[in-house]
Structure formats: C-alpha cells, structure tokens
C-alpha cells in the first residue's frame, strides 16, 4: 500500500476522515509536491513539516479536520490566511472547483512566490496568492463564504468577521502563542456564533491582529 493510502486508511480508522470529497481531494493534491525535495519522503507521516522561514506545512489530520469543518461546497469563495506551502490552498481550490475561488494571503514573500509557482504548475487557476498581512483579511474580494486561518491568533481579527458573508463559516486557532483552541465562527443574521472545537497547536499569526514581534 502506498504511503498516501496507508495514511487515508489510518485517518478513517481513527474517525478523523469521514468526508468522501475530502478523501478525494487528498488523492488529487499530492502533499509531496508542496514540500522541500529532501522532505518529500515524509509527506505521508501525519506530522507538521518544516518548509523554511520558521514555518510549517500543517499535519494531514489537522488539515482534514479543518476542511471537513469548513463544510465547503462547489462554487464558494474562500479566503485562506497563511498560504505557507500552498498545500491547503490547493485542497481548498480542488474542493470549491473551477466555479469557485480561493484567495490566500501570506506575509513571507518567498513562501508566497513558491506556492504561486506550484499552484500554477499544477493547473490551479482559481487561486490567487497575495503577499500581505492576512490578519486584515483581503477586503478587495470580500465577502467570503468561508475563511480559514492556518496560524494562531490572540483573538479573532475583527476584519475577518466583517469580511465573512452572511451564513459564512470562519475557522481560526485562538489562544496563547504555544497552544490554542480551534474556533468555528458562524455569521447568522445579526449574530456571530462561536464554537470551540478542540485544542490545537499552530505557528503564530503576526501582523496587526496577530502577535507582535513576529
């Protein structure tokens, strides 16, 4: 069995992977394509992997949990904060399909550039990679049906709630620098509902609504 199939089997057995479309996306978007060449062999180990600049490509189980909680549908517009390797952006692009759109914001230009190149090479032309402070969102293309933040914040950045469409879902790890709670924020009419999903560990979000000094 290939490393990918073994990982899929394990994530299903653990009860982590339950959505067949997310499973399809894992097969369609090979994680090794988004890792530095010497680390490709670890692509199907269920751990975060260093991608340089002090950043990581999230562990497969965490990516699966977040993709499932996002309840993505074809044609949706999604904002991702923290492009990193571009792997999650590619999975999002696959899941919203050619009629959907993904805008992903990364503060480190070299990572953004590399992710842009990979996504283009792989034919994902429904993704736009933007260099900037994603804690401010990306108002130019708001509102978004879904927003996913793949770095940890001290609080939910107000611009992200503003840029979330009515009925939209925002996923974000919130808490201290070293461990956080994954929050699911839903905008229903005038009210904003927050649900705590699980304890998580992410690299810090820096910028205006992130942690200082990053």
Burial class (CB in 10 A: 0-12, 13-18, 19+), 22: buried
Name the active-site residue from 2, 58, 135, 191.
Answer: 58
Give the x/- contact pattern for ligand SAH in 58-77, rule: CB under 6 A: x-------------------
Q: How far is the CB of 190 from ligand SAH (least distance, A)?
A: 28
Question: Mind spelling out the 3-state secondary structure of 160-196?
Answer: HHHCEEEEEEEEEEEECCCCEEEEEEEEECCEEEEEE
Q: Is 135 a catalytic residue?
A: no
Give the pairing type, strands 49-52 and 55-57.
Answer: antiparallel
Total residues binding ligand SAH (CB under 6 A):
25
Our CB check for ligand SAH shows the closer of 130 and 189 to be 130
Q: Is 57 in the site for ligand SAH (CB under 6 A)?
A: yes
Report the residue count for the chain: 214
DSSP 139: G
Binding mask 115-154 for ligand SAH (x = CB under 6 A): ------------------xxx--------------xx---
Name the residue among 65, 213, 204 with its Cα closest to residue 134.
Answer: 204
- In whole angstroms, give the CA distance from residue 162 to residue 43: 36
CA pair distance 183, 200, nearest whole angstrom:
10
For residue 3, the minimal CB distance to ligand SAH (Å) is 18
Among 69, 106, 114, 145, binds ligand SAH (CB under 6 A): 106
Instruction: Please say which residue, 77 or 107, places its beta carbon nearer to ligand SAH.
Output: 107
Q: Which of 25, 55, 62, 129 binds ligand SAH (CB under 6 A)?
A: 55
* Residue 49 phi, psi (nearest 5): -125, 135
The Cα 34–Cα 32 span in angstroms is 5
Cβ proximity to ligand SAH, 76 vs 206, nearer residue: 206
Instruction: Provide the annotated active-site residues.
Output: 58
Which chain residues interact with ligand SAH by CB under 6 A? 55-58, 81-82, 84-85, 87-88, 105-108, 111, 133-135, 150-151, 203, 205-207, 210
């Amino acid at each position: 069995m290939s490393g990918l199939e073994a990982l899929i089997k394990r994530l299903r057995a653990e009860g982590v992977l339950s959505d067949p479309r997310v499973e399809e996306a894992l097969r369609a978007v090979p994680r090794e394509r988004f890792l530095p060449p010497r680390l490709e062999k670890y692509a199907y180990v269920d751990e975060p992997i260093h991608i340089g600049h002090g950043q990581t490509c999230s562990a497969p189980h965490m990516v699966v949990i977040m993709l499932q909680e996002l309840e993505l549908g074809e044609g949706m517009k999604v904002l991702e904060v923290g492009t990193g390797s571009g792997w999650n952006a590619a999975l999002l692009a696959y899941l919203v399909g050619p009629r959907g759109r993904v805008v992903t914001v990364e503060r480190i230009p070299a990572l953004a550039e590399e992710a842009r190149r990979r996504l283009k090479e792989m034919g994902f032309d429904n993704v736009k990679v933007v260099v900037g402070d994603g804690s401010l969102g990306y108002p130019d293309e708001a509102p978004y049906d879904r927003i996913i933040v793949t770095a940890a914040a001290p609080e939910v950045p107000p611009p992200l709630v503003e840029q979330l469409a009515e009925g939209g879902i925002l996923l974000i790890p919130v808490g201290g620098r070293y461990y956080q709670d994954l929050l699911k924020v839903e905008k229903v009419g005038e009210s904003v509902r927050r649900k705590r999903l699980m304890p998580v560990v992410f690299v810090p979000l820096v910028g205006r609504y992130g942690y200082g000094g990053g």
